[in-house]
Structure 1
């Protein structure tokens, strides 16, 4: 950083003219604007648009191009991207490893997307895995996790987690469960819960053994959403039994543990998630207690609860945010 009085000293010494002094002062008052995130966003969009464009081109000209030519093109793109990344990658480390250049992350992402397209196309057209659909998703999952750790790429890690969910027979987001309304499918709900707990464990173990501990955020992000949503739906599956309250007790126990961990790491985002899911669980209990009241008094109490509790919740969140920033 150039001292504020340097230009004035140069002018007083006669090193620079008055005109130069005025221009330098004017430029100093207008700092440079960083285009870092804008350029990164454009590059990511470019990779996604390229992948989408190749897919549309193949779909519209599949009869004239031929399957072998399409597979060869996808393999060439995938192989070229991985060749560049392996040649320019830095040595592996358990700590954070930054990309060696600007194009590295985006070529790695393009290579992984091309690899997924290649394996999916190969299975769809030639059924190389036969009816072993689990194997068709297991192999890409292993490759993606290896790439994510070898090249230290958070985006690839997210894709690998999604592939893990596909391998387990579910979607990594709860859209499927919400859209299908399949609340009675205990197998689906328990699979979500198992996946969520596995991801939470992976996040804590990453930090515990100091092995790519910056991956902890991605694991906990998916794990918290999946675990809490699965526990809530498990409660609804046993709404009229004592087992339903057991699922809510498990939810509150998990919430308490994750809340303490969020306080320890000063993570407002994870703390916010835990508070919102806990609030939803408490609201479910309040609604169930007032469900037996058939008169308007129960409805008024329920409305009063949501008004008062929502206000108290917002005040609590604001105070926690200030507390974390101050600490």
Structure 2
């Protein structure tokens, strides 16, 4: 890492972005071996919020009969009110560009208040059913609250909750593992089309937000969700027995791969680039197998078996070269 930092500084000097005096100051500062605990402290704050909200959930579950529903809801409401009171008091208000709190703890108060709000609304609906049998509203309301908090307080963690809530509202579970385990894309074409439409809407929102300069730094989060949702839905349907269905979703995956290839360079996002390659590679292999279904390998199966290891080794080599090339491009 030390060698990498020295090379980075020297590269900036060679490009004329810093002066020789500034280069010497950077070297002198790094020789002090000063390191920051900012990331570690934020991680502990994040874990504290998760443990606190989890503890609230466990407290409700284990003492629901002895404490009482009204008392639990009142306690949640008080804690939520305290969290948002301090957040609104010390926030800079809504701004279109990126903003931060003067004290980082307040960012995690926003996260805690938002999670507790979701718990409060869910518990209220479960126990008293204020939305009647319209359970989708119990998901939509905290989703709207989460989007408001994400944009008003400029909080990325809350934004992920909001997008997940939006996906849950249309019947999706947005983590890749749950998408494969819980959502039966193959049995429900409507769910697959909903996933593709949601992905397209997220992409369109990113494009629109950049045009009006609204929280441009949120774009990577929207694109990440869009990539996973569209790609997994497409791959799941490419194994369909219906020819029109798998061809349609193969085209969707091809279009998605091309767009996110461009977006990864635009945002200089290694995560987008890597997952784009992985999904594209899986889709390409499925497409090859669908084509090979109509080929008779009875006479050349030995050659095919011999070439298969070379194919996978070559794929790994090409993958590594692509990653190195991308890293070199975004570093320049």
Could you say whether these structures have the same fold, taking a TM-score greater than 0.5 normalized by the shorter chain as the test? Answer: yes
- Alignment correspondent of 1:263: 265
**Pick from 287, 297, 311: which aligns with 1:305?**
311
For residue 196 of structure 1, the aligned residue among 176, 179, 199 is 199
Could you list the runs of 5+ residues in structure 1 that have no partner in the other structure?
A: 1-26
Q: CA deviation at 1:179?
A: 1.7
Give the aligned partner of residue 222 of structure 2. Answer: 219
- Give the stretch that moved more between structures: 291-300 or 243-252: 291-300
CA drift of 1:164 comes to: 0.5
Counterpart Cα distance in 1 of 2:256 and 2:233: 12
CA contact (8 A) 1:92 1:150 kept: yes
In structure 1, the partner of 2:278 is 276
What is the match of residue 72 of structure 2? 70
Equivalent position of 2:302 in the other structure: 296
Matched, 1:160 2:162: yes
SS at match of 1:92: coil
Unaligned runs of 5+ in 2: 1-28
- RMSD (Å) for aligned C-alpha atoms: 2.1
SS at match of 1:33: coil
> Match for residue 11 of structure 1?
none
Question: Residue 315 of structure 1 aligns with which residue?
Answer: 321
4+ residue runs over 4 A deviation: 27-30
Distance 1:315 1:176, change over 3 A: same
**C-alpha deviations, 1:13-40, integer Å up to 9, x for none?**
xxxxxxxxxxxxxx99643331111111
TM-score of the two chains, using structure 2 as the length reference = 0.84
User: Residue 33 and residue 308 in structure 1: after superposition, are their counterparts in 2 closer, same or farther (change >3 A)?
Assistant: closer
Cα distance change on mapping 1:311 and 1:33 into 2, 3 Å: closer
Q: Name the structure 2 match of 1:205.
A: 208
Aligned equivalents of 1:84, 1:141: Cα separation in 2: 21
CA distance in 2, matches of 1:322, 1:303: 29
Residue aligned with 1:175, SS:
helix
CA contact (8 A) 2:220 2:267 kept: no
Per the alignment, residue 143 of structure 2 pairs with: 141
Query: In the superposition, relative to structure 1, how do residues 29 and 256 fare at CA in structure 2: closer, same or farther (>3 Å)?
Result: closer
Instruction: Please name the residue that 1:95 is paired with.
Output: 97
| Conservation of the 8 A alpha-carbon contact between 2:237 and 2:245 | no
Aligned match of 1:24: none
The alpha carbon displacement at 1:205 in A equals: 1.8
SS in 2 for 1:90: coil
C-alpha separation between the residues in 1 aligned to 2:271 and 2:107?
A: 26
Quote the Cα distance in structure 1 between the aligned partners of 2:102 and 2:50: 22
Measured in 2, the distance between the counterparts of 1:109 and 1:161 equals 14
Shift of 1:85: 0.8
CA separation of 1:248/1:120 partners in 2, compared to 1, >3 Å: closer, same or farther? same
**Whole-Å separation in 2 of the counterparts to 1:31 and 1:304:** 46
Alpha carbons of 1:28 and 1:176: their partners in 2 closer, same or farther (altered >3 Å)? closer
Aligned-partner Cα distance in 1 for 2:288–2:304:
11
Equivalent pair of 1:112/1:144 in contact (CA under 8 Å):
yes
Sort the Cα spacing of 1:181 and 1:41 in 2 relative to 1 into closer, same or farther, 3 A.
closer
- CA–CA separation in structure 2 for the residues paired with 1:58 and 1:181: 29
Contact preservation (8 Å) 1:116, 1:140: yes
Scaled by the length of structure 1, the TM-score of the pair is 0.85
Secondary structure, in 3 states, of the residue corresponding to 2:239?
helix
CA distance in 2, matches of 1:53, 1:64: 17
1:111 CA displacement: 0.7
How far is the alpha carbon of 1:283 from its aligned partner? 1.4
Change (3 A) 1:216 1:304: same
Deviates more, 1:211-220 or 1:225-234: 225-234
**Alpha-carbon distance in 2 for matches of 1:148, 1:99:** 13
TM-superposed CA distance for 1:206, in Å, is 1.6
The answer to whether the Cα contact below 8 Å between 2:143 and 2:166 also exists between their aligned partners in 1 is: yes
